[in-house]
Amino acid sequence: MLDDGTPLFHQIAQQVADGVVAGTFAEGAQVPSTTELAALHRINPATVGKGLALLVAEDVLHKRRGLGMFVSEGARERLVLRRRADLATTYVRPLVEEARSLGLDLDDVHHLIDQLDSEGAP
Amino acid sequence: MSTTPAAATGGPAVRVRGATRRFAGAPALDDVTFDVAEHSVCGLLGRNGAGKTTLMSLLAGHDRPDAGTVEVLGEQPFENARAAGASLLVRDDQRYPDDFHLAHVLRVGPLFHPAWDAALAAEVVERFRIPSKPQVKKFSRGQRSALGILLGLASRAPLTILDEPVLGLDATARGHFGELLVREVSEHPRTVVLSTHLVDEVERVLDRVLVLDHGRLVLDAGVDEARDRAHVVLGPAEAVESATAGLRALSSRRVGGFLELVLEGPAAPATARAARAAGLQVRPAGLQELVAALGAGDAEPPATPRPAPVPSATPAPGAPR
């Protein structure tokens, strides 16, 4: 589930953020502790801590002294807005590049998307 | 003899300055200087004969340097009872008395290690299925490693030094080791130095790496920084050569018409884009690739293309093999 493309602490941050976007970790709810995440993924706790610190810096999580890490108010919306803004570079550009390298043009790509839509894809 | 571990110093757990150790005149360890921060998990990597075991013996106080200094938790470890109580070295060829069984190890452990955790020891026995009947000296390689992990983790020594802890373990047991180690250092912070050849498997539990080659320290970096030390470019040889002209290759490997280069530093964005546009693969070097490239040294064959050996059923008499 964790791959070697990006640094591990980024992957940990990404994964917790995914949970916030998906609603697995609701706003105000506690996220798993550093120890739990470290043991679960068999990753150095300092690396996990670095990943969670990224999310604290982005105000997705906040610390409550002695209690742990909690999802901040409005975190989901902020993440969703940012991911929408990133959608073009993260997904659309690679899609278009791959399509072009296969000799397809933008009309073909549109057609594929319409086709998915008519098949009732999620 | 005091069994109280040396108190936390606030400084690095390990401080090595210019340490040199010679055996029969040849340096096994050559002017090595580094710190290991307290409560970090540090991987000691390098090829066989690079000096890893020599360095671990110095840290554990089993040996002393011919030149330079070694400090563990603020003390010189050699012939120092207080420092000896603070660290534990489990050797990859750890010896036990001839008549020892598992029960003896479980009984003796707490006598030498005041922080011994019997419940953790029992958990290790169960997870790694360490047998109680055979003598320890008759254990398989994997069973001996499991017993070493038991000693290393259950002792809760402030400095735990593990020499090849996962050698001979099956994949399930290696998974248990990763999980237990991470849980232990998280719940009971301590400093761990471990050597391994299974870099890809163990990389994730580390926060720092030291790489030795021919007795010299060739890399001392956080695992994330280590990713920026080198990148890999792979593709048709000519395209790779033109895309990387002027860059310093740490190592190279040719297979057929393909060339794989491990290059120093992170890939420059412009170079990476151009190389990808030319159909080449560009990616950060994995830790194992970096270790291999750094350890390639002068002992490796030159990276010139060589004709593939033609298998022959009837070698000429006296032909070099």
Q: Cβ atoms within 10 A of the Cβ of A16, count? A: 23
Residues of chain A neighbouring B205 (CB-CB closer than 8 A): 42-44
Question: How far is A5 from chain B, CA to nearest CA, in Å?
Answer: 8
The span from the CA of B45 to the CA of B116, in Å, is: 28
Confidence (pLDDT) at B270: 87
Mean pLDDT over each residue of chain B, to the nearest integer: 87
The span from the CA of B20 to the CA of B28, in Å, is: 8
- Cβ–Cβ below 8 Å for B186 and A7: no
Report whether B150 contacts B90 (CB < 8 A): no
Between B307 and B112, residue with greater pLDDT: B112
**Contacts for A30 with CB less than 8 Å, ≥ 6 apart:** A67, A68, A69, A70
- Cβ–Cβ below 8 Å for A47 and B204: yes
Mutation for testing the B interface, residue in A1, A36, A44 having most B CBs under 10 Å: A44
Closest residue in A to B203 (Cα) is A43
How big is the A-B interface in CB pairs under 8 Å? 49
| pLDDT of A100 higher than 80 | yes
Report whether B312 contacts B306 (CB < 8 A): no
**Alpha helix locations (H) across chain B?**
52-60, 81-86, 102-112, 118-127, 141-154, 171-187, 199-202, 223-227, 237-243, 269-277, 287-294
Confidence (pLDDT) at B277: 85
B225 in A contact zone (CB under 8 Å): no
The predicted-structure confidence for B263-292, as pLDDT tens digits, reads as follows 999 988 888 888 888 889 999 898 999 998
ipTM of the complex: 0.74
Would you place residue A7 in the very low, low, confident or very high pLDDT band (cuts 50, 70, 90)? confident
Mean pLDDT over each residue of chain A, to the nearest integer: 91
Buried b (16+ CB within 10 A) or exposed e, B235-254: bebebbeebbeeeebbbbbe
Q: Which residue has the tokens 């990387």?
A: B244
Give me the amino acid identity at A106: L
What are the backbone dihedrals phi and psi of residue B6, each rounded to the nearest 5 degrees, phi first?
Answer: -55, 140
- Cβ–Cβ below 8 Å for B183 and A35: yes
Q: Identify which of B179, B206, B224 has the shortest CB distance to residue A39.
A: B179
A41 in B contact zone (CB under 8 Å): yes
Residues of chain A neighbouring B182 (CB-CB closer than 8 A): 38-39, 42-45
What class, spelled out in words, does domain A8-73 have in CATH? mainly alpha
Residues of chain A neighbouring B224 (CB-CB closer than 8 A): 7-9, 47, 50
**Contacts for B25 with CB less than 8 Å, ≥ 6 apart:** none
Would you place residue B45 in the very low, low, confident or very high pLDDT band (cuts 50, 70, 90)? very high
**Pick from B182, B230, B228, B171: which is nearest to B204 by CA?**
B182
